[in-house]
Amino acid sequence: MQQQSSLRPNEATVVSTLSACIALKMLELGKEIHRYVREELGFTIKIGNALVDMYCKCGHLSIARQIFNDMPIKTVICWTSIVSGYVNCGQLDEARELFERSPVRDVVLWTAMINGYVQFNRFDEAVALFREMQIKRVSPDRFTLVALLTGCAQLGTLEQGKWIHGYIDENKIMIDAVVGTALIEMYAKCGFIEKSLEIFNGLKEKDTASWTSIICGLAMNGKTSKALELFSEMEQTGVKPDDITFIGVLSACSHGGLVEEGRKHFRSMTTVYRIEPKLEHYGCLIDLLGRAGQLDEAEELIEKSPNVNNEVIVPLYGALLSACRTHGNVEMAERVAKRLVGIESGDSSVHTLLANIYASADRWEDVTKVRRKMKDLGVKKVPGCSSVEVNGIVHEFLVGDASHPEMREIYSMLDSIAKPLLGLDENEMEGETPVPVLL
What pLDDT is recorded for position 215? 98
Task: Please count the other Cβ atoms lying within 10 Å of the Cβ belonging to residue 406.
Answer: 10
Can you give the length of the chain in residues? 439
Say whether pLDDT at 341 is over 80.
no
Does the pTM surpass 0.95? The reply is no
CATH fold label, 1-104:
1.25.40
Q: How far is it, in rounded angstroms, from Cα 27 to Cα 47?
A: 16
The better pLDDT of the pair 5, 266 is held by 266
Across the range 72-86, mean pLDDT stands at 94
Query: 1-104 and 278-382 share one CATH topology?
Result: yes
What pLDDT is recorded for position 249? 98
> pLDDT grade, residue 160 (50/70/90)?
very high
* SS3 at position 76: helix
CATH fold label, 278-382:
1.25.40
Q: Are 285 and 250 in contact (CB under 8 A)?
A: yes
Q: Where are the domains of the chain?
A: 1-104, 278-382
**b/e map 40-52, b = 16+ CB within 10 Å:** ebebeebbbbbbb
Q: Which amino acid would we find at residue 396?
A: E
> pLDDT grade, residue 356 (50/70/90)?
confident
Say whether pLDDT at 47 is over 60.
yes
Q: How far is it, in rounded angstroms, from Cα 96 to Cα 102?
A: 10
Helix (H) or strand (E) holding 397: strand 393-398
Task: Please count the other Cβ atoms lying within 10 Å of the Cβ belonging to residue 145.
Answer: 24
Across the range 174-188, mean pLDDT stands at 97
Say whether pLDDT at 96 is over 50.
yes
Q: In 310-363, which residue ranges form alpha helices assigned H by DSSP?
A: 314-327, 330-340, 348-360
Average pLDDT score, the chain: 86
